Amino acid sequence: MEEQALHLLRAQTKDRKTGYMSIASGKGGVGKTIITINIGKIVSKNGNKVLIVDGDLGLSNVHIMLGITPSKNLYHYFMGEVSLEEVVVHIDEKLSFISSGSGVRELVNLPLSQLRNLIYRLQEYAEANYHWVIFDTPPGIHSDTLALVSSSQIPVIVTTPEPTAIADAYGLIKVLNQDEKIKEFYVLVNKVQNTEEGLKVFESIKVVCEKFTNAEVKYMGSIKYNPKIIRYIVNQNPFEEAFSRDLTQALLKLPLNIRYHGPSFWERLLSKLRRAG
């Protein structure tokens, strides 16, 4: 079953322009970072070059889970201390990683001409080297999260069956829908006991979204709770077979084969950073 799913993913992501995906959550502790890393690994296994970008080093743990201690990050690049190539860490031939330092909000204070040049250089590098760029964003309605998610083509919202996680996931969707005018979201439910629980959580979010927003939430699927995953995280090897199998099935629900038109991710991000300034 997993091999069949991987074959479909390979077909979906073949011969297309660079896509941008953001992984977000209303609160911390829902498994967003390990999901981001595993999405990157799964997509890269199918002939795609993937760049994972840690949306905020102070709140995310991508580097820790991977056992990586990057000496430089995007902040050093923004400040002109290093080249862009020097902040990229290659995990393997197809999968790379960048730490963002203090987050994209640092860009707001740069002169517009410098900001534009940096953004265009990032765009040039990403689209010359990667099929997918995946952002692990800070939890909640952090300014970095809103900018990155609303600029991405595929916004994934991660939650768990906990009532607080469900409420905060809805809150994030509501803010992105009402303030950033984002309409389409993909919901992934982590740490479920069974598939029925995952669907129940999604339906509860869908009901309130339909009642109080015009957001269209789509169900990616669920990932079963697995106590083994803690040991994998402790060992800085966040790739576990059952976890990967559930996530591979969920990824089939994403429109990975769509060619996106209109303003690019980087143009949208630049516009939002200028507005924030």
Residues 6 or more apart whose Cβ sits within 8 Å of residue 68: 62, 89, 91, 97
What is the CATH code for 18-276?
3.40.50.300
CA 27, 257, 39: angle at the middle one, nearest 5? 35
Residue 240: name the closest of 185, 188, 190 by CA. 190
The number of beta carbons lying within 10 Å of the beta carbon of residue 231 is 10
* CB 250 within 8 Å of CB 220: yes
Packing angle, helices 265-276 and 112-129, rounded to 10: 160
Chunked into runs of 10 residues, the chain (277 residues) has average pLDDT values of 52 66 94 93 91 71 78 82 91 90 61 78 91 92 88 96 98 97 97 97 98 97 88 73 92 83 81 70
What does pTM read for this prediction? Answer: 0.88
Domain boundaries, the chain: 18-276
Q: Residue for token digits 């964003």?
A: 137
